[in-house]
Homo-oligomer: A and B are copies of this chain.
Amino acid sequence: MTIDALNATFAALADPTRRAILARLTRGDASVQELAEPFDMSLPAISKHLKVLERAGLVSRGRDAQRRPCRIEAAPLQEATEWMERYRRFWEGSFDRLDDYLREMKTKTSEKKNARKR
């Protein structure tokens, strides 16, 4: 995946309407009219969001001239998730380090308690 493609994917995801459109499309293809229904938005406003999603390759349009149904394209989502996955090791690592730290603190506290008992 090129840098530009990652930029476009993350930029497209940075809007709640566009994320909601993608969520709706996971349930099946839909026309612009069908997509606009649950949102209190004009068709041109929804079309504008769709254009951003299309440019990012997250949505494709069918050839049916009347409906031109929108379809979610999973590949860019997968690539963006793979980019984020690299950090999973990092944050899981940082939680591990936190665990180690807490365990160490616990040991020290019980050592102090035992020392006081003696």
**Chain A contacts to B: CB under 8 angstroms:** 3, 6-8, 10-11, 13-16, 19, 22-23, 26, 72, 74-75, 77-78, 80-81, 83-88, 90-91, 94
B residues less than 8 Å from A81 (CB atoms): 81, 84-85, 87-88
B residues less than 8 Å from A11 (CB atoms): 10-11, 14
Minimum Cβ distance to chain B for residue A17 (Å):
10
- In contact, A26 and B88 (Cβ under 8 angstroms): no
- In contact, A72 and B90 (Cβ under 8 angstroms): yes
Given contacts A74-B91, A91-B77, contact A7 B3 (CB under 8 A): no
From B22, B80, B90, give the contact of A26 (CB < 8 A): B90
Q: How far is the CA of A75 from the CA of B23 in the complex (A)?
A: 23
Q: How far is the CA of A72 from the CA of B94 in the complex (A)?
A: 10
Q: How far is the CA of A10 from the CA of B80 in the complex (A)?
A: 10
Instruction: Name 5 extra pairs, CB < 8 A, besides A77-B84, A81-B88.
Output: A10-B13, A19-B83, A72-B90, A74-B87, A74-B91
- In contact, A84 and B84 (Cβ under 8 angstroms): yes
Q: How far is the CA of A76 from the CA of B85 in the complex (A)?
A: 13
